[in-house]
Structure 1
């Protein structure tokens, strides 16, 4: 009689399950600690302590799973995760906080076709980042006179990351720029990591270009590029109304900003993709928004007949914006030499 074949100590399936479970515990240890640090109640020392306790419990659960009592760990730790996720999902967004002045209001729109009246259009006069005259205005736009849509990208550090703005131009020379931004409180500052952990609500700002563009080019000294989008007029109108619809929704039901899933670029993509009936492909450049122009030119979204290099060179508007400063014809002057834009008339 032959000897029985010895079975391997660990089956492949068992090994895979252990690896996945280990990675899951480590992942929830890190995510849970960060979530508790940003959202647990109390001052920073208390939040740090709570986050540290969660990390310790998670690491103890990992030790128990691997070395001591795997069945107990498999039963108890998922219950802790469920409780953490229940708490996380129950944290409500709010429109009632002590907001920073520049995001004190979310634009709201009333549509009386073809006219749209926007409440709380921002028109600040910026002298420095902390010295400004705050103005919020009501403005009315005739969508039958909508003439152009421009994409603006503002770079402040890495070439991979840029803030995205969309500016609508009208036949009478008016421009209004929409920007999806974090709605920070008066004592807060932007944090990419905090943007993953419900640190900020989301806002949609509609603003005069002498405010929202000039503060970036002249005050913050960011590098701003302007591109003329190749969009038919019905899609321009639909895109404008999409911003109004989302802004009105945020006024009714606040939402959190998310660095990946709900930010200035991904929401622009979602709206344009809706207009294009799903024709636009998903791409890493929708997250690394600094590379967005190479994506858009690939789907024929810019004025045809120009290379990407020509569009970028002609679309670099920071120097022109600094020269124009607070001039009444700021919008016309920053567009001088931008590919695909005919010279605009004097206001």
Structure 2
């Protein structure tokens, strides 16, 4: 027998064997009964119905909240919108429900099948019209929502009433003169002596950057500020905040619905940190960032200047998730440092930002060389501002601008007690290497 004949007969026998198995072994394969097939289809149908109902409910809830936060509970627009949206949604869900009931009844043998079929057709047609009307209504609502523009001119609260602006020296661009630097004297959490200063800083003297977290709503939520240190001058703090109107309170949920404009504040630390640690009683922590070169700090400082320009040119909305006090800073910093600041869920859980900085090596686990390394718990203990300024009297000896500047300097020194200030990195490779080593050590 030739080799060709052998393989031909082998393949033929295997093919016949498979065919015979498939034909003769059908009694071993359990066929699905019509009832089981209908049950599978029914479950898929229910899951699809649940998915559609969830989408409809969530979309209606989003639109109702958008109208609610724009016009308030007492507005006739809010009530009319609620009536229309809820009415359409109820009719649509009801129509889809009776379509399901009609289908189930239709599948059962009955003398009234013809009537049920006609009803099902009418319900299906009505459901299509209601669905189209709801989609059109919702699209109109979405178009209205995204057409709402942020404004510059409102009755703002005093602490956000002014907009930050600046000028550069014509002969030395590193000299930046800010207008409307906030320097309030806070008496209580709601009362302060207003003062907006003009201040000139030299970017060539930048020596470091600190991140301050102020916890006002549990351990997960914190307001983030950034302070820039200078070789021969007191620090200057920047803060992205909501621009509240008179009598307006903050709501994290309202922050999703274009309720608050975004504001950039430049302030003395004795103002913007003291009001949180002492006047409001929030728990405040200051963390110096390590392994940075001066050009990186300068680039971050420049990004704040750009943000001030943008907000002066066009008002912007605050958003609780995508444009808040923490992730805006991260976006700016990542443009400068790139992969040294990897994406992480803690960017959106602002209370854990120090833990993130510690894990990526930007918060040095060994700030005092040849000493015991600091865990993140040690950092929190050393960085805690409140015990350091518990007895600080914010209104003592403020008889002149000179006294006030001296007092500002004293407060900035006091909140940094017990925290070694990291030196600037000599080069980019050294900065990246040291940050990588610190990240490994933190692990």
TM-score normalised to structure 1 length: 0.90
Please give the alpha-carbon distance, in whole angstroms, between the structure 2 residues aligned to 1:303 and 1:108: 34
- Tell me whether 1:274 sits opposite 2:339 in the alignment: no
Q: Which residue of 2 aligns with 1:345?
A: none
Any idea what SS the aligned residue of 2:233 has?
coil
Change (3 A) 1:59 1:285: farther
Q: 1:98–1:186: 8 Å Cα contact kept in structure 2?
A: yes
Cα deviations by residue, 1:7-66 (Å, 9 ceiling, x for unpaired)? 6474887665434322210111111111111114x7725354135312333233222344
Q: Mind listing any 5+ residue stretches in structure 2 that lack a counterpart? A: 1-31, 99-122, 367-373, 395-406, 424-443
- Tell me whether 1:337 sits opposite 2:418 in the alignment: yes
- Tell me whether 1:90 sits opposite 2:130 in the alignment: no
Q: 1:214–1:325: 8 Å Cα contact kept in structure 2?
A: no
Change (3 A) 1:285 1:14: same
Q: 1:314–1:339: 8 Å Cα contact kept in structure 2?
A: no
Q: Which residue of 1 aligns with 2:80?
A: 50
Please give the alpha-carbon distance, in whole angstroms, between the structure 1 residues aligned to 2:335 and 2:45: 44
Q: 1:311–1:339: 8 Å Cα contact kept in structure 2?
A: no
Q: 1:33–1:55: 8 Å Cα contact kept in structure 2?
A: no
- More deviation, 129-138/260-269: 129-138
Q: Which residue of 1 aligns with 2:379?
A: 311
The alignment's C-alpha RMSD in Å is 2.3
- Tell me whether 1:215 sits opposite 2:283 in the alignment: no
- Tell me whether 1:35 sits opposite 2:51 in the alignment: no
Using the TM superposition, give the Cα deviation of residue 76 of structure 1 relative to its aligned residue in structure 2, in angstroms: 1.9
Using the TM superposition, give the Cα deviation of residue 141 of structure 1 relative to its aligned residue in structure 2, in angstroms: 1.0
Match of 2:180 among 120, 134, 139: 120
Using the TM superposition, give the Cα deviation of residue 198 of structure 1 relative to its aligned residue in structure 2, in angstroms: 1.2
- More deviation, 142-151/46-55: 46-55
Any idea what SS the aligned residue of 2:155 has?
coil
Q: Mind listing any 5+ residue stretches in structure 1 that lack a counterpart? A: 343-347
Any idea what SS the aligned residue of 2:92 has?
helix
Q: Which residue of 1 aligns with 2:286?
A: 226
Q: 1:126–1:211: 8 Å Cα contact kept in structure 2?
A: yes
Q: Which residue of 2 aligns with 1:235?
A: 296
Please give the alpha-carbon distance, in whole angstroms, between the structure 2 residues aligned to 1:145 and 1:243: 17
- More deviation, 328-337/44-53: 44-53
Q: 2:340–2:360: 8 Å Cα contact kept in structure 1?
A: no
- More deviation, 181-190/282-291: 282-291
Any idea what SS the aligned residue of 1:80 has?
helix
Q: 2:365–2:376: 8 Å Cα contact kept in structure 1?
A: no
Match of 1:293 among 354, 366, 378: 354
Q: 1:123–1:136: 8 Å Cα contact kept in structure 2?
A: yes
Please give the alpha-carbon distance, in whole angstroms, between the structure 2 residues aligned to 1:103 and 1:65: 50
Q: 2:160–2:243: 8 Å Cα contact kept in structure 1?
A: yes
Q: 1:150–1:226: 8 Å Cα contact kept in structure 2?
A: yes
Using the TM superposition, give the Cα deviation of residue 130 of structure 1 relative to its aligned residue in structure 2, in angstroms: 2.8
Match of 2:319 among 258, 272, 281: 258
Q: 1:239–1:271: 8 Å Cα contact kept in structure 2?
A: yes
Mapping 1:194-209, distance limit 5 Å: 194-209=254-269
Match of 1:320 among 364, 388, 391: 388
Q: Which residue of 2 aligns with 1:186?
A: 246
Using the TM superposition, give the Cα deviation of residue 320 of structure 1 relative to its aligned residue in structure 2, in angstroms: 1.3
TM-score normalised to structure 2 length: 0.72
Please give the alpha-carbon distance, in whole angstroms, between the structure 2 residues aligned to 1:138 and 1:50: 49
Any idea what SS the aligned residue of 1:147 has?
strand
Change (3 A) 1:280 1:20: farther
Match of 2:53 among 22, 25, 34: 22
Please give the alpha-carbon distance, in whole angstroms, between the structure 1 residues aligned to 2:167 and 2:48: 55
Q: 2:226–2:237: 8 Å Cα contact kept in structure 1?
A: yes
Q: 1:100–1:186: 8 Å Cα contact kept in structure 2?
A: yes
Change (3 A) 1:57 1:234: same
Cα deviations by residue, 1:161-200 (Å, 9 ceiling, x for unpaired)? 1110000011113211001100010120111111111111
Any idea what SS the aligned residue of 2:179 has?
strand
